Amino acid sequence: MPLYLIVLFPLLGFIINGLLGARLKKPLPGIIATAAVLASFVVALLNVLRLASLPEDARRITETAYTWMSVGDFRVDVSFLLDQLSSVMILVITGIGFLIHLYSVGYMQDDHNDPEGRLYARYFGWLNLFIAFMSVLVLADNYLLMFVGWEGVGLCSYFLIGYWFKREDAAEASKKAFIMNRIGDFAFLLGMMLLFVSTGTLKYFGDSGAAGNATQGVLDVARSNAGAFSAVGLAGLGGITLITLLLFIGAAGKSAQIPLYTWLPDAMAGPTPVSALIHAATMVTAGVYMCARSAALFELAPETRLIIIVVGALTALFAGLTALAHNDIKKVLAYSTVSQLGFMFMGIGAGAYIAAIFHVFTHAFFKACLFLGAGSVIHALHGEQDMRKMGGLKAKMKATNITFMLSGLALAGAAPFAGFFSKDEIIAGVWNYSGEYNSIYKIIALVGLVTAFITALYTGRQYAQVFEGKARDEHLHDHAHESPSVMTVPLWLLAIGACFAGLLGLPHLPGVPNLHAFTDWLTPVFSVQADASHAAAGTGSHNPGATLMLLLVGAVIGWAGWFMGRSMGTRQGERAVLPASTHNLSLDAVYNATFARGGLALSAALRWIDDNIVDGIVNGIGGFFGQVSSALRLTQTSFVRNYALGMAVGAAVIIALFIINR
Amino acid sequence: MPTSYYLVISAMLFTIGVLGVLVRRNAIIIFMCVEMMLNAANLAFVAAARDLKLMSGQVFVFFVMTVAAAEVAVGLAIIVALFRNRATIDVDEVNLLKY
């Protein structure tokens, strides 16, 4: 099965729903879209099995669809690459994407924002287009094609956040998301240009053709000839540091890191399944994927990784605190996503790429499940999102309750659920880091533990506030009902993932069962470039004592935080845990004061220039000719003799000139 | 006779024609003055042609006469049309097209 089919199926679904969707009856567009993603998942699965059947050092399938552009030495193919890393991502995208499509069929059935169902087909069309672009992003074999997917998912995110475009908050949020992403995209583009300048290609890997015929990709150059990047250094920054920093800014925009994260909480204005798919499970992890893909570059730049890990830790900590302060069920999850993305970047910063990707993998399950569970609650309560009005839903919504609890435990990092292993692996990776700036990494690891505790705290609080205790709004509670099975089946499947996905990557410790499939699968991608200590950091195996300690501490704080959070949630149902001023670090206010006000002042100044100088020149020219011609008009006297005199005098002057200049 | 005599006559005729066009108001008179200017040019042509021993000047005169004949036909037609409409051929009375 060719790889391009993975992209083609959802694209076909998009075309069908986009062109004919308006004529199809509910829920046919949803079924078409879901089937398209399922087909895509099957193709992906078959291809991954084919990949797994190859010998370990040759696991790389490349397929070229066609040459996109070829200018001189610069050539970009639309070609797809499936290796261990992209196989994990593509399975997550199509697999979880399929479950969320399925859920959406139920969720969007009765849309109170769109009672006539005019937008229904559009929703599924965009969701399909998103899957297609996301597949391009992870399957691309060069940075430019990845950028196509990168921009495409940003576009679909814009469409879907603003899906209910008649609601002002949704329209504003979609614009905000798009514009903030542009900042990151700009940096990504610059980084890509510098990569091209220094290596002459944008492919990840070259072709290993016959001797003398072999070409090198960007990552090959990074491994064999690190000096190639020094040419593009700028103002004291080494070339590789500059490139990786630009790439990281790009990743920070897409993956909502400080200071570019403020769009993600606002993005919750979109439909809840969209938040689950795009703003939790897949698109926002694209930045992590990009950094992991470029690991060979980041390995060369310890300074950049220090910045990444500090940014990641700060994001994780502050977003976690913010999640504790919010009362909107989706906002809590949104900040939690930002926080978990911070964890993933901590893994990248520590060189624990496998742990970061592992967290992407487990996070996709439990966070998608939490979002869909929240969607189920919102669905049952007719659009109510304020957790202060919930409570006591345990008995009414059994399936949602159990799945939410299981995935909540996974998020909290309670052993032995999925999030426990992946989060702990990251913290262990940071703790065991043994390169430059060693001591800072130790502090970061402690910050990670604190953040893990906060995570457990707000997750427990949220669960208790929504499902436990007594109903705080009788009216809402009376009308609550369990969602249809088209919605609960995906919940169950995701909850199973949230419970057991962690078992794919147990830590390498003596006495632990030999379940390291995930780590073993990914090791070849990263081990060839990382030196021994980093490879070990990825698995946390070279310091078993510390790793074991961290595991135990992690398990304790996971459960402790969960129970403390629960009592907090039931006890202080209505009161906020933290003052409202912590809602989003006031970063929005800062941006308003600097960029928005500054932009307005600048545009006012430019407008003055336009009104007075540019228009002055233009109108002045017009006015000048107006004046001159109204003066000259008076010569049109209607007396033929005057005209004749003009001609005679003119002729006389010309003849006189000829005579003088003879 | 020297050629310059002819040219002087030609210049005088031309100047009289120009002055006639400029100062007279009767369209027919103006028209006649224009003809006079044309014939002054014709005279200059033939005089120069004789002086330079070239045929082309002579040939030009025929062209000028042909064009003048055509122009007379058109010009007189305009004057007739003007008279029919305005009952006058005073060019100063015909002054609608102005600023």
- Which of A91, A79, A86 lies closest to A42, judged by CA? A91
Asked if B22 has any chain A CB less than 8 Å from its own CB, the reply is: yes
- Six token digits for residue A484: 């249809």
In whole numbers, what is the pLDDT of chain A averaged over residues? 84
- Which of A371, A378, A370 lies closest to A483, judged by CA? A378
Q: Which residues pair with B82 in a beta bridge?
A: none
Nearest 5°: CA angle at A435, between A434 and A438? 70
Report how far residue A584's alpha carbon sits from residue A386's, in angstroms, rounded to the nearest whole number: 17
Q: B96: which chain A residues are within 8 Å (Cβ-Cβ)?
A: 638
Query: For residue B96, what is the nearest residue in chain A, using CA coordinates?
Result: A638
pTM check: above 0.80? no
Q: Distance, in angstroms, between A660 CA and closest chain B CA?
A: 19
Between A382 and A618, name the one with better pLDDT.
A618
Res. A572 pLDDT band, cuts 50 70 90:
low
Q: Do A638 and B18 touch (CB under 8 A)?
A: no
Report how far residue A373's alpha carbon sits from residue A463's, in angstroms, rounded to the nearest whole number: 11
Res. A531 pLDDT band, cuts 50 70 90:
very low
Task: For residue A80, give the 3-state DSSP assignment.
Answer: strand
Query: Residues A396-435: pLDDT tens digits?
Result: 888 888 999 999 989 888 878 888 888 888 888 888 887 7
Q: A636: which chain B residues are within 8 Å (Cβ-Cβ)?
A: 97-99
Q: Do A641 and B91 touch (CB under 8 A)?
A: yes
Positive or negative torsion for Cα A240, A246, A251, A257: positive
- C-alpha distances in Å from residue A169, one per residue of A69, A270, A489, A592: 40, 9, 31, 17
Q: What is the mean pLDDT of residues A613-619?
A: 91
pLDDT of residue A281: 86
Q: Do A644 and B21 touch (CB under 8 A)?
A: yes
Asked if B76 has any chain A CB less than 8 Å from its own CB, the reply is: no
Report whether A639 contacts B93 (CB < 8 A): no
**Cβ-based neighbour number of residue A395 at 10 Å:** 11
pLDDT of residue A576: 53
Query: For residue B25, what is the nearest residue in chain A, using CA coordinates?
Result: A641
Res. A527 pLDDT band, cuts 50 70 90:
low
Q: Exposed, middle or buried: residue A436 (CB in 10 Å: 0-12, 13-18, 19+)?
A: exposed
Unique residue bearing structure tokens 């262990």: A428
**Cβ-based neighbour number of residue A479 at 10 Å:** 11
Q: Do A641 and B23 touch (CB under 8 A)?
A: yes
Report how far residue A315's alpha carbon sits from residue A471's, in angstroms, rounded to the nearest whole number: 34
Report how far residue A256's alpha carbon sits from residue A177's, in angstroms, rounded to the nearest whole number: 10
Q: Which of A638, A641, A644 sits opposite B98 (nearest CB)?
A: A638
Least confident of A339-348, A484-493, A552-561: A552-561
Q: What is the mean pLDDT of residues A224-247?
A: 80
pLDDT of residue A237: 75
Task: Write b or e for each residue in A121-160: b if 16 or more Cβ atoms lie within 10 A of its Cβ, otherwise e.
Answer: bbbbbbbbbbbbbbbbbbbbbbbbbbbbbbbbbbbbbbbb
Least confident of A5-9, A31-35, A273-277, A511-515: A511-515
Report how far residue A32's alpha carbon sits from residue A47's, in angstroms, rounded to the nearest whole number: 23
Asked if B23 has any chain A CB less than 8 Å from its own CB, the reply is: yes
In the predicted model, is pLDDT for residue A532 greater than 60?
Answer: no
- Which of A296, A175, A318, A304 lies closest to A249, judged by CA? A304
Q: What are phi and psi of A203, to 5 degrees?
A: -70, 150
- Six token digits for residue A290: 């990009």
Query: Residues A165-186: pLDDT tens digits?
Result: 888 889 989 998 998 898 899 9
Query: Residues A540-563: pLDDT tens digits?
Result: 445 667 777 777 777 787 788 888
Query: For residue B19, what is the nearest residue in chain A, using CA coordinates?
Result: A645
Report whether A647 contacts B22 (CB < 8 A): no
Query: For residue A641, what is the nearest residue in chain B, using CA coordinates?
Result: B22
Q: Do B21 and A641 touch (CB under 8 A)?
A: yes
Q: A652: which chain B residues are within 8 Å (Cβ-Cβ)?
A: none
In the predicted model, is pLDDT for residue A574 greater than 60?
Answer: no
Q: A645: which chain B residues are within 8 Å (Cβ-Cβ)?
A: 22
Q: Distance, in angstroms, between A657 CA and closest chain B CA?
A: 18
Asked if B96 has any chain A CB less than 8 Å from its own CB, the reply is: yes
Task: Write b or e for each residue in A47-60: b if 16 or more Cβ atoms lie within 10 A of its Cβ, otherwise e.
Answer: bbeebeeeeeeebb
Nearest 5°: CA angle at A520, between A518 and A523? 105
Q: Do A644 and B95 touch (CB under 8 A)?
A: no
Task: Write b or e for each residue in B41-51: b if 16 or more Cβ atoms lie within 10 A of its Cβ, otherwise e.
Answer: bbbbbebbbee
Query: Residues A283-311: pLDDT tens digits?
Result: 999 999 999 999 888 888 888 889 999 99
**Cβ-based neighbour number of residue A648 at 10 Å:** 15
Q: What is the mean pLDDT of residues A642-662?
A: 91
A286 Cβ contact partners less than 8 Å away, ≥ 6 residues apart: A134, A137, A138, A150, A153, A251, A254, A255
Q: What is the mean pLDDT of residues A608-616?
A: 90
pLDDT of residue A37: 94
% residues pLDDT > 90 (chain A):
30
